[in-house]
Amino acid sequence: MKTRMTVTLIILLLAGVTAAVAVENLTLQQASQLAVEQNPAIRQSEINVERAERASEQADESETILDRLREEGLLTPDVEQLLDLLPAQAEQGEKMARLARDLVRNQVILEARQNYLEVQKARENKNLAKQNLQRAEEMVRLATVSYNHGMTPRSDVLGAEAQVAAAQAALLAAENQVELAALELNNTLGRRLDASLSVAELQSVPKPGRPNLESGLSSALKKRIEIEQAKGEVELQETQLEYVQENFSEEDAVHRQAELDLEEARLNLEITKKNVELQVRQLYSGMEVLKKQEQALEKSVKAAEESYRLACLRYEAGVTTQMEVTGAQTTLLELETQLLHVRYDRYLMYQQWLFATARDLD
């Protein structure tokens, strides 16, 4: 007995090691797959599907009981209406549960990809902070050399050292942001929040595809799950109205209620379509703006790099002040950070575009 228990424990331990290895150098695709396998929200949606399936089966089984009660005259018109519509409602409920499960799955994949890219962005932002610290330390060296040669006052060295301290603080904040982003990713992947996470290095920010507004709108209006859900509700209300028309007079209150329910379902469908169209158009416009911003910032960063390089040379030659170097360094960091964020935000928005247009996330 002890031997069996020991073997079982070893197997479980090995399984745990295997799971840990599986998330080493995690890629974007692997993050999506792991989220689908382990995110509890997906399991919750699957439970709802199972419940809806059981309810549909029970509704089918209740028809036999309903026939017997009808024959014995034990049903009032209102109760009979509810029971007659129960199978159709249960079937629609099952369909809705499946659609909701698919929607949750797609949302989890999108969230996993977004959080994965946020980790990458935070890590690159940390690298920028390291570079800025190195520049600040270089400024201390230049100021010290210049001071030792009697070319600049002691205040230049002190000012440069203050810039180093500020850069160190910024680096610590950037490192903390990486940890926070990793927590978010672990949560989406269904892992322990404090579990060790190793994300594969990206050589560069992925380039987004070229979105087409018309085809995107067409795909979204045909395939978005929210629209399918709204259509399903319209179908259900149409079925109920048909039943009421066949079994109740127009003067009966239930007749008007069924008409109002159908009208409300149709309005909800139109509102859902409009919201989907609005989202797609906003994402398309946003991507176009970010594309132009990226192009402009690429030029600005190159100019800022050259400006910083020349400022360092002029300071070393004793023909400019420390303030000019510090200003050039600050401008360069700000533009580099803006460019980094725009590049990631553009690709993140492209992922949202794929989701909004009911395309496969890639």
Question: Residue-wise pLDDT tens for the chain (362 aa)?
Answer: 444 444 444 434 444 443 444 467 899 999 999 999 999 999 999 999 999 888 888 777 666 666 665 566 655 555 555 556 677 788 888 888 998 899 899 999 999 999 999 999 999 999 999 999 999 999 999 999 999 998 889 999 999 999 999 999 999 999 999 999 999 999 999 999 989 888 988 878 888 999 999 999 999 999 999 999 999 999 999 988 988 888 877 888 888 999 999 999 999 999 999 999 999 999 999 999 999 999 999 999 999 999 999 999 999 998 999 999 999 999 999 999 999 999 999 999 999 999 999 988 75
Amino acid identity, position 324: E
Helix (H) or strand (E) holding 77: helix 77-148
What is d(CA 354, CA 109) in angstroms, rounded to the nearest whole number?
11
CA-based angle 9:14:18, to the nearest 5? Answer: 150
Distance CA 310, CA 330 (A): 14
Domains, the chain, in order of start with CATH, read: 27-191+212-356 (1.20.1600.10)
Q: How far is CA 136 from the centre of its chain?
A: 36
The reported pLDDT for the residue numbered 164 is: 97
- Helix or strand (DSSP H, E) at 130: helix 77-148
Distances (CA, A) of 201 to 132, 266, 323, 345: 21, 49, 36, 18
- Which residue do the tokens 């799971």 mark? 19
